[in-house]
Structure 1
């Protein structure tokens, strides 16, 4: 890489300058605190020693000022911004990245030693010791802590001190699945978890007013110092309130489907369905349908889980802005409590219209405006049905297209879908999915695409299917009916020449009727930013043409047509696996592995064009322009930015790794590397080198780059700059890039790829 020496020299001088400029601001009677180290000394064999060490290190407060590339940039910005007459730039930098100095005078080593001993005792290491040493250097100081501990205390016997109360019999039954095991180490965290477990389990048995503070553990360590054993006792505290240790049942359920604080109570009517009172004025939601989403029943014991799941189900309908389930205590007998349940539902605005004006810019030098108009009705038939109607207008023209400049594209689309928050089937189906309700979706779409100077494409799509979330992490979608009709019209002589030279491409356009079934599954734990190890696994299975082929076989026809339209036959499957490693909340190493393959059979020799795979672009291998990779080692003649429409394939393999880190505030950075390619399932003379072989791994395109992300809460704008490291279409031995002349304008134009996108790539 041709990075000039003066660049390195400037970076070195900047580092020294910032360090020196920080030191001169430190008061004479202060030392800059640079952090602490912790050493654990023990002869005991501790299984989770690493976790304990991490927990103890979290007690080393305060945190020192952070460094970026070895420099105290935040501290420097603070000093510069708080001096007399700092100027606009210094004030701005202080506001954005400034950090107040952390001095050694703010550190209390003695208090930290006490915290270390206390935490070790909470983990069962009684009679531990700790010490500290202050290390001063020039104008800075750090602390070295040492914690010493021996063998932990382990459980000898666990007993429930019980009387004759009903709740104590309940607790005794719950202790059969206790988290506290014989010979386990004393651990305050485990005791708290057990207390919370018992609290949750008792509430599920109707104990509405029970609180985990009502339970107390007592440990007796006076058994034998040499054995290091203890007995543990569980009991209810003294003077627990009477209403906290009796179960409650639901006596009355009132549902307000159109709740508003301004609602006139005199105009409300009550409809009773399944012993529930549905109270509303004008009927907003049909009670017979709304009842299906409520898991609560009259005379059942109070259950926070059923209450929570009822709230989830009602919220997932998509009609209500707020769902509030409230309980009110009624007169109670000595051993039984009584509750009234009120469910308040505040609807969203029923109808809405949304307009989006977009500016589209693609890495293949196509750009232009687009307009999306969406009409939505969130309660079409008073049963929570959502109707969406979207119209799209788009125009793209080619910028700096070289020899083939002047290309343009015009697109018009109309899509409508109707979503029912329940299962719609040929026979009635009563579902009781506890987490969320399954939904039925019916969709229709029309699209017209004119690729100026090449062809026009009309398409029609229809689907009927179901989607649902059985829990917060899993998503299913199945479409037993999925239809696509594509009609290629008005082809230009230039495009006909391309089709004549590539029979596979012509066949992929001629198979203009796609009828099949598809299924999608997602398992997603990436959303939890506090999870150190998080994964996503998704798969899609798409089958087409089998039913139509069976109909043709029964009718004695074998021409591969249905209603005069040639249909496609294929089986296609994708796997998308992602793994995030988060060493802390701010830094993430994100990886992805994507594999997909389509198998044409019967009257098909390739996948339909709209079902084929592409590689390259802002969400793929970012060092190559969109749809510009492969198949295999193939490269089009007269390769330029406008020749990507025929670089498609039946097989796709990609791998990505990206390190994400903070820069300042909402601005994030990234370093990434991508690899991938596409291949053909069958040999195609028009695309030499495109067939998948056992040497596929030698044909991967590889690129690397850096990125900037403007991450504003739920909205991310992404800028990626990438360059190829390996070109699959060059001769073997010449595929690795060996020239990185960043200072050359020509090199940057040919090798530096800029990607602009919304959201993270994976």
Structure 2
């Protein structure tokens, strides 16, 4: 089956390549296919940034020729095929994927029009009196033609001085301050684009200082060459004639109205509460003004500032209680005088539904042959105490049955969970912290408590509870910090069967990691997410976390009977764990990109612990890891479980993890996307486990011990919600020590929600 698929793919690719070359026979007898144009710049003087100038000229060349792929005109070929009366299914399919609208011939090219455009581009950059010429270059055998444009560039005009012309007060003084920060300087070449950017920069400065009605088009540049005979000029900045009076005066905010519970169908102000020099309308019983006020950076008596408006809108949106934030300004024409205008700021906040109920159905399939359904029920209250608090409580139930695997089949697993989370959109701290310290975002205080019950028949029961208290905030558009100063976790195994006890007795490391344990520590996470700029060609993402436990406990601990230290007779874990996740995306455009990822993590147990707790150890393999290996089935090192399905779920973990991934993503049709990928990675132990006979130890030869695999994927992407189906096969299995062998018979299917990285 796999051989047939591979042969079909190869034949299809060869035919596609051979056929796409044969477009010459479709070109009309009296025509030639236009293949593009080149630009040559000739100048008697040295042109600064000549390559950049040439790129500008090349972008102006019209028309654009038909595209090529690996030297072949695939799109043009299928255009011609579609002109047939019955093109067929295959041609229609490839035309939708690769086809172009129409061929571009020599007769479509108008060199004289392009010459005018090139001359305009040169003059806009200071090269006045340039001379443009063109000529066709033909290849009659291939029925192809191109154009060569020659640009003779004289010495450009340069700035001798940049001065501010007369303007009425008070705008003159503000523009003067802005011009003092200009990047235009003596000796710079005349450039229309630079002048446009200068106008926009001054406009931003004026807006930031209250000039609500100003527009960059009100500014005008004038150049004077009369004083010089060596292609230099004086540049003057002034105001156009008949600029409206209200455009050249600053505006102050006289009143701020905040509609804390705004509905479009009901805009009547029933209740007005004055707080901190702001009017809170219809806020009573919905959102307390003292909690909402820190999110508003606007103040009465403050000059209008678009930056303050954006900051207020962004901060209000992060509360989580509102679906729309709309800030509008209203001019008070009856109040303003010759030098000052008055604005009234109205902030309309449209709330989300206060209560919500979400049901999530799950289907689980794990590498240890456990499969089964699950359900999670979440209740949310987005404004619990009338201060924007978000309260979530989730109850979950999962049932799994182990099928296959010989004698291990028939085992069942029941998982019950209850998690309660309360998020305050402000800092809860013993000492008052000024919210103005956080310019971009106000930190959120997160608290959570969870209980879990896991029962595996014929093995064990595991009770666990956790509690966290911490803070989350954005430092800017890209950087997010999360610090959890209080993180508690307690696990207690019980009802251990003889079968499971034998597994633990055979592996002392596993036995120690499964013992009743108390974890108390601190977590910190730093995230830089440059992928919020979805249109950028180069995108970067960095996430680094630090997890430290047991240090504070050691100050109050007492020695127990087993020689370990504990709190209230509970042994606590002591360790440090740090990991980093680096991602880079290269966008090609049209939904095509190459995504890469590099992950590294290390955990170190010390003091009161001989080994990292099981829940804190690393594992490798699965839909978000090395996809050619099942979850927890890769490593550690070159270890192999020899098909022992009773133990592979538990002991294939380590305290070191390194992984690398690369993936090419592309559109197929509509919401269906495709991917081709390769993954590599593994886990190791810094101190070898005797059970593994040294195969799990991390050494300088770790790269040779990478598990490697490659595959293809299909993704259903509907407005950001992604269902992912990946098929991957290993080509290097470190446990087999058989070199590189791409084995499609061991293809692994992975299902996931969201992209892996």
TM, length-normalised to structure 1:
0.90
Whether the aligned pair in 2 keeps the contact of 1:710 and 1:716 (CA below 8 Å) is: yes
Aligned residue for 1:240? Answer: 243
Whether the aligned pair in 2 keeps the contact of 1:81 and 1:93 (CA below 8 Å) is: no
Residue 135 of structure 1 and its aligned partner are, at CA, apart by 3.7
Partner secondary structure for residue 507 of structure 1: helix
Total equivalences in the alignment: 748
Whether the aligned pair in 1 keeps the contact of 2:259 and 2:283 (CA below 8 Å) is: no
Taking a change above 3 Å as real, the CA distance of residues 555 and 401 of structure 1, as seen in their structure-2 partners, is closer
Aligned residue for 2:454? Answer: 449
Aligned: 1:439 with 2:444 = yes
Within the candidate set 744, 747, 756, 1:748 is matched to: 744
Within the candidate set 669, 672, 678, 2:677 is matched to: 672
Within the candidate set 376, 382, 385, 2:386 is matched to: 382
Whether the aligned pair in 2 keeps the contact of 1:615 and 1:621 (CA below 8 Å) is: yes
Give 1:708-727 correspondences, 5 Å limit: 708-727=714-733
Aligned residue for 2:499? Answer: 494
- Give distance in 2, aligned partners of 1:124 and 1:660: 43
Whether the aligned pair in 2 keeps the contact of 1:544 and 1:571 (CA below 8 Å) is: yes
Whether the aligned pair in 1 keeps the contact of 2:666 and 2:674 (CA below 8 Å) is: yes
Taking a change above 3 Å as real, the CA distance of residues 512 and 85 of structure 1, as seen in their structure-2 partners, is same
Aligned residue for 1:173? Answer: 177
Residue 723 of structure 1 and its aligned partner are, at CA, apart by 2.8
Partner secondary structure for residue 582 of structure 1: strand
Whether the aligned pair in 2 keeps the contact of 1:510 and 1:566 (CA below 8 Å) is: no
Whether the aligned pair in 1 keeps the contact of 2:558 and 2:567 (CA below 8 Å) is: no
Whether the aligned pair in 2 keeps the contact of 1:721 and 1:755 (CA below 8 Å) is: yes
Taking a change above 3 Å as real, the CA distance of residues 495 and 74 of structure 1, as seen in their structure-2 partners, is farther
Aligned residue for 1:630? Answer: 635
Aligned residue for 1:423? Answer: 427
Aligned residue for 1:543? Answer: 548
Aligned residue for 1:614? Answer: 619
Give 1:95-134 correspondences, 5 Å limit: 98-104=99-105, 105-130=107-132, 131-133=134-136
- Give distance in 2, aligned partners of 1:252 and 1:516: 48
- Give distance in 2, aligned partners of 1:75 and 1:410: 59
Structure 1: runs of 5 or more not aligned: 741-746
Aligned residue for 1:597? Answer: 602
What whole-Å deviation, never above 9, does each CA across 1:182-219 have from its counterpart, x for those lacking one? 33333333222221111111111111111111111223
Taking a change above 3 Å as real, the CA distance of residues 154 and 505 of structure 1, as seen in their structure-2 partners, is farther
Aligned residue for 1:759? Answer: 754
- Give distance in 2, aligned partners of 1:365 and 1:222: 87
Partner secondary structure for residue 633 of structure 2: coil
Give 1:503-582 correspondences, 5 Å limit: 503-510=508-515, 512-552=517-557, 559-582=564-587
Residue 668 of structure 1 and its aligned partner are, at CA, apart by 3.5
Aligned residue for 1:328? Answer: 330
Aligned: 1:191 with 2:195 = yes
TM, length-normalised to structure 2:
0.90
Residue 352 of structure 1 and its aligned partner are, at CA, apart by 0.9
Residue 476 of structure 1 and its aligned partner are, at CA, apart by 0.6
For structure 1, which segment, 659-668 or 290-299, has the greater mean C-alpha deviation from structure 2 after superposition? 659-668
Whether the aligned pair in 1 keeps the contact of 2:619 and 2:683 (CA below 8 Å) is: yes
Whether the aligned pair in 1 keeps the contact of 2:139 and 2:145 (CA below 8 Å) is: yes
- Give distance in 2, aligned partners of 1:644 and 1:328: 65
- Give distance in 2, aligned partners of 1:582 and 1:224: 48
- Give distance in 1, aligned partners of 2:56 and 2:144: 26
Residue 51 of structure 1 and its aligned partner are, at CA, apart by 4.2
Whether the aligned pair in 2 keeps the contact of 1:616 and 1:623 (CA below 8 Å) is: yes
What whole-Å deviation, never above 9, does each CA across 1:212-264 have from its counterpart, x for those lacking one? 11111223456667x55443221121221111111111111111111123227
Aligned residue for 1:288? Answer: 290
Whether the aligned pair in 2 keeps the contact of 1:275 and 1:298 (CA below 8 Å) is: yes
Give 1:656-667 correspondences, 5 Å limit: 656-667=661-672
Partner secondary structure for residue 177 of structure 1: coil
Give 1:729-740 correspondences, 5 Å limit: 729-731=735-737, 734=738, 736-737=739-740, 739-740=741-742
CA RMSD in angstroms comes to: 3.2
- Give distance in 2, aligned partners of 1:349 and 1:540: 34
Taking a change above 3 Å as real, the CA distance of residues 603 and 554 of structure 1, as seen in their structure-2 partners, is closer
Whether the aligned pair in 2 keeps the contact of 1:204 and 1:304 (CA below 8 Å) is: yes
Whether the aligned pair in 2 keeps the contact of 1:97 and 1:664 (CA below 8 Å) is: no
- Give distance in 1, aligned partners of 2:163 and 2:223: 11
- Give distance in 2, aligned partners of 1:649 and 1:44: 66
Aligned: 1:60 with 2:61 = yes
Residue 649 of structure 1 and its aligned partner are, at CA, apart by 0.8
Whether the aligned pair in 2 keeps the contact of 1:113 and 1:132 (CA below 8 Å) is: no
Whether the aligned pair in 2 keeps the contact of 1:160 and 1:234 (CA below 8 Å) is: yes
- Give distance in 1, aligned partners of 2:41 and 2:750: 48
Taking a change above 3 Å as real, the CA distance of residues 506 and 708 of structure 1, as seen in their structure-2 partners, is same
Structure 2: runs of 5 or more not aligned: none
Aligned: 1:260 with 2:255 = no
For structure 1, which segment, 559-568 or 634-643, has the greater mean C-alpha deviation from structure 2 after superposition? 634-643
- Give distance in 2, aligned partners of 1:62 and 1:711: 35
Taking a change above 3 Å as real, the CA distance of residues 666 and 98 of structure 1, as seen in their structure-2 partners, is farther
Whether the aligned pair in 1 keeps the contact of 2:605 and 2:612 (CA below 8 Å) is: yes
- Give distance in 2, aligned partners of 1:575 and 1:314: 31
Whether the aligned pair in 2 keeps the contact of 1:385 and 1:419 (CA below 8 Å) is: yes
For structure 1, which segment, 191-200 or 26-35, has the greater mean C-alpha deviation from structure 2 after superposition? 26-35
- Give distance in 1, aligned partners of 2:556 and 2:47: 67
Taking a change above 3 Å as real, the CA distance of residues 507 and 184 of structure 1, as seen in their structure-2 partners, is farther
- Give distance in 1, aligned partners of 2:501 and 2:158: 81
